[in-house]
Structure 1
Amino acid sequence: MKFLLVTVMIIIAFAIMSDKGRLMLEVLTSVALSTALALTLMGRYQSPQKRGMEKPQEEKQRADD
């Protein structure tokens, strides 16, 4: 966790000092937001086949208990 915090602080300091740093910070921010959105949508909109496969497994586990 400390490593991540130090890395973010270095990137922000570099971004303040140079134009290339600002560009890099904008790119990293857009990549992070795109990744978060993709993961959210993947979790929300799973294929019906995958959802159908998960439910019987849960029912089997309940039956075994």
Structure 2
Amino acid sequence: MSLISDLAQARRCAPSTALVVHPAAAPGVWALESALRFAWERNASCVVAPSEITITDSTRQLAE
């Protein structure tokens, strides 16, 4: 498991890592999408994000 307080950390995660996005790293609309993309590129096992992050249709599509 890796706590991501900076999206650059997601770029360095090891395969099969669970990425936990700290609220400070996810204030913008694109932050969660970026974390999902980095997780996919790095073969992470999952992304966990704070419930107060706005989920857009594009974020939902990327997650699927």
Scaled to the shorter chain, the TM-score interval is under 0.3
Flag the structure with higher helix content.
1
**TM-score scaled to structure 1, two decimals?**
0.26
Q: Larger radius of gyration, structure 1 or 2?
A: 1
User: Normalized against structure 2, the TM-score is what?
Assistant: 0.27
